[in-house]
């Protein structure tokens, strides 16, 4: 009998021990998850070659009053052996500003908190439209006091990659015309980084000399000296959601209202630029809204190419003529920026300008959730995500994907819903999956276009695994 009791105890105790750590997730419970890592080379981003997760790191969750910045809630957690940590929050923090931040590393060899990766904003309320109870914090990193010996070789490798692409672009600025039926050969005599929409029907008189002799647009003048080089068979696609806007800060529905960035949004855009500074950019596409354009412009001030982004105007012939650049050397040091309304944020109709919390109290949390996250249901006199996707994806297919096919590296600075629509197309997500897709402001997402396929490379500031900056499926471990 004693042996039987002992056997039962031995069988039951492990089950109890395994079940004990699992959090109880009720209807109103929110779970915050994230990862701590070590940046061995001080790159400011994670790669498989230069980073590893940090177990036993201490992290802190803090929620503050949005106006007074007084701390209203705090909690502390420790990362597990996989470098993952978790907070279980049993209350709704409504309009509070909540951040997860690094406190201390358990790795003495990697204990310095990495600037710019020391904290992550999380939303801990039920009226923001996020269907899942899981809230993902961006990965946070420590760095070593002294970089590993192999880091210089890695930096050299990345710089060489950027140099090769840069030389390729310069040599491709102009090349002799050779008749062909292929789409790529229609424009060999024009600058490699001029968008397709601006390459067509441009043989016209731009100005006259003092003797009234017509001068052809030098943009289209074929070079007789520069040999034609084969373009790269792959291209980079960088997606950036604009930084925090003034109405984001005030917790108002923004939609297509043209609101600029806050001071924090400006800082987010600059930080995003630092994170993509070594990735080549030939063309930039933004929405017609100032917050997206500011994000693109500010990000490029940090790029190592030091080229100047210039917004192209095609509203009419006069706009094209008056904004024409006549210096070939200046054009080589410029990056064209195309602003398109099709990449605008979803139009929120009668919700625009309303406080999100007050709207939820007025119409009910469930109704606001449907307006914000349903794929098919639009808010009053506004757009559904489906309607937004129709215009954004069509523009991407017609104007951006052909550039990638020609080998141009593209940066898109846009908005949460227009980018979600494009990611839905790139990752072949269903309408159900895209409703739980969440993008952080000011953090880049990288894709490689090769052999007519899009391959996600995670983010220049995060691991390549899905579920970091754009995610659809979550598992609690």
Q: Which entry of 93, 136, 242, 303 is annotated as an active-site residue?
A: 242
Examine the residue annotation and report whether 345 is marked as an active-site residue of this protein: yes
Close Cβ partners of 326 (under 8 Å, ≥ 6 residues apart): 206, 207, 218
Which one from 96, 190, 345, 383 is the annotated catalytic residue?
345
Q: Is 49 in the active site?
A: no
Catalytic residues: 242, 345
């Amino acid at each position: 009998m004693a042996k039987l009791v002992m056997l039962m105890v031995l069988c039951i105790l492990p089950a109890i021990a395994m079940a004990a750590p699992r959090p109880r997730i009720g209807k109103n419970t929110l779970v915050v998850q994230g990862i701590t890592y070590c940046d061995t080379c001080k790159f400011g981003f994670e790669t498989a070659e230069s980073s590893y997760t940090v177990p036993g790191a201490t992290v802190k969750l803090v929620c503050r009053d949005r106006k007074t910045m007084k701390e209203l809630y705090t909690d502390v957690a420790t990362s597990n052996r996989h470098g993952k940590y978790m907070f279980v929050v049993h209350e709704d923090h409504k309009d509070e500003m909540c951040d997860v931040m690094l406190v201390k590393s358990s790795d003495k060899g990697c204990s310095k908190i990495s600037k710019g990766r020391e904290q992550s904003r999380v939303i801990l309320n039920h009226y923001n439209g996020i269907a899942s109870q899981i809230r993902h914090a961006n990965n946070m990193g420590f760095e070593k006091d002294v970089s590993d010996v192999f880091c210089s070789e890695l930096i050299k490798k990345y710089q060489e990659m950027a140099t090769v692409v840069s030389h390729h672009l310069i040599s491709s600025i102009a090349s002799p015309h050779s008749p062909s039926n292929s789409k790529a050969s229609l424009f060999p005599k024009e600058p490699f980084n001029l968008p397709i929409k601006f390459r067509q029907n441009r043989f016209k008189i731009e100005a006259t000399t003092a003797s009234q002799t017509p001068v052809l647009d030098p943009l289209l003048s074929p070079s007789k000296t520069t040999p034609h080089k084969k373009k790269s068979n792959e291209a980079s696609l960088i997606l950036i959601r604009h930084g925090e806007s003034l109405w984001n800060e005030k917790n108002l529905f923004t939609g297509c209202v043209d609101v600029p960035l806050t001071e924090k949004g400006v800082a987010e855009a600059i930080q995003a630029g630092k994170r993509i500074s070594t990735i080549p950019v030939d063309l930039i596409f933004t929405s017609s809204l100032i917050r997206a354009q500011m994000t693109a412009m500010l990000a490029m001030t940090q790029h190592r190419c030091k080229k100047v982004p210039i917004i192209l105007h095609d509203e009419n012939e006069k706009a094209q003529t008056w904004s024409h650049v006549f210096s070939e050397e200046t054009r080589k040091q410029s990056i064209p920026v195309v602003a398109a309304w099709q990449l605008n944020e979803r139009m929120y109709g009668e919700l625009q300008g309303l406080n999100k919390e007050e709207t939820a109290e007025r119409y009910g949390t469930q109704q606001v959730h449907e307006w914000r996250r349903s794929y098919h249901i639009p808010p009053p006199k506004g757009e559904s995500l489906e309607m937004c996707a129709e215009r954004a994806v069509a523009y991407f297919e017609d104007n951006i994907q052909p550039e990638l096919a020609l080998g141009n590296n593209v940066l898109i600075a846009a908005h949460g819903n227009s980018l979600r629509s494009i990611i839905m197309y790139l990752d072949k997500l269903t309408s159900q999956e895209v409703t739980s897709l969440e993008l952080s402001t000011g953090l880049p997402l990288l894709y490689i276009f090769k052999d007519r396929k899009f391959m996600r490379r995670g983010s220049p500031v995060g691991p390549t695994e899905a579920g970091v900056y754009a995610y659809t499926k979550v598992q609690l471990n």
